[in-house]
Amino acid sequence: MRSDDAFRTRALLERALHGSQVPDLTGERFGPYAVGRVLGRGAMGVVYEATDTLLGRQVALKILTGALPALDDLVREARIAAALEHQNILRVYDAGEHDGIAYFTMQYVDGAPLRTPAPNARRAAQIGLAIASALGFAHGHRTLHRDIKPANVLVDAAGQIFVADFGLAAREGSASPAGAGTPAYMAPEILRDERGGASTAADVWSAGVILYELVSGQHPFDASSWDELVRSVTQEPPRPLSSCPPDLEAICMRCLEKDAAGRYATGSDLADDLTRFLAEQPVRARPLNLGGRALRRVRRHPWVAALAFVLFASTVRAAIDELVLARVRRLNVRVAIRTWGPGTRRRFSRSARGTRSPINALTRTAARRRLPWAKTRRTTSA
């Protein structure tokens, strides 16, 4: 970079740090990067489309202009994020300092930030599953995101979901720097500034807020100021969801539990429940009773349920017919015995001796004697 270019870039960034505007470096050179158009702006900095002139690849360059971490911390955190290789995580390539300005570069995706609401509940669950899977992978490597929000979720032209901005990731259990995160998506323990607030459960809370917005198109808490936001998030329940499948609502509400212990422990647990919802299986956030499980199976396998119902109805009808027939037999026995003479009764006693069914023996005796009710009994049996 020429000395005059370096001076100009430095001056622009210093004015941004001490003023209210974020610099526009479009068309400038920043170290080995040729800076292109602005992709996005946030409290922590501005993201540009850029070209790495050394490697000849397109990247997303983020210039940090907020409360900046120490360079060693930035490089260490970027190294953590760079180790996360997942289909739904935007890769971090590089991090460092140029002319006293901290930056990091990420994989470039030709897409746009996530927009809410989703077209339907199923698509909302699919997007939530992609976010939860990315978080679950990071949590499995003891890494926290700390700033999950729609602006950090990108959707490419094919609908693929990427969780971005892992450049401020941290190891689980590390302290959250002041200003890290977006208030509207912060968990209650973060807003209360509790010690050890940064956790996997805090990431799950943020993912739950996004899922809620995907389903409803609005934030779960009604607040117009910082004080109202803190009070609502820490004390009031989320607004009820309308026109939402009960299982998906239960998943959202579990993510938004005030107590971190009541939420899903990690992104993987949230992803598992969203997978169950998409597969129309009972979700752990809303256990079903026996009747609910049966109804769910009927919906999943209607033809099998219909066949089972037909078989059950046939069995019940056969049992009822047999009970009715047995009743007729008993009545016929009483009638027959009253009309028999002593000889017929003796023959019936001999034929019924040692048999399990005296009625069958009676039937055979009656048939030999050609009694009228025997013919009626066979017709009834048919």
Residues 6+ apart with CB under 8 A from 230: 191, 192
**Which entry of 5, 24, 94, 147 is annotated as an active-site residue?**
147
Task: Please list the residues that pair with 40 across neighbouring strands.
Answer: 47
- Is 92 in contact with 152 (CB distance < 8 Å)? no
Cβ count within 10 A of residue 286: 17
Residues 6+ apart with CB under 8 A from 115: 150, 155
156 catalytically annotated: no
Cβ count within 10 A of residue 175: 11
Residues 6+ apart with CB under 8 A from 233: 186, 187, 188, 191, 221, 223
318/254 Cα distance (integer angstroms) = 48
Q: Is 172 helix (H, G, I), strand (E, B) or coil?
A: coil
- Identity at 155, one-letter amino acid code: V
264/80 Cα distance (integer angstroms) = 23
End-to-end CA distance of the chain: 102
Q: Sheet containing 161-163: which strands, arranged edge to edge? A: 111-113, 153-156, 161-163
Residue positions annotated with a catalytic role: 147
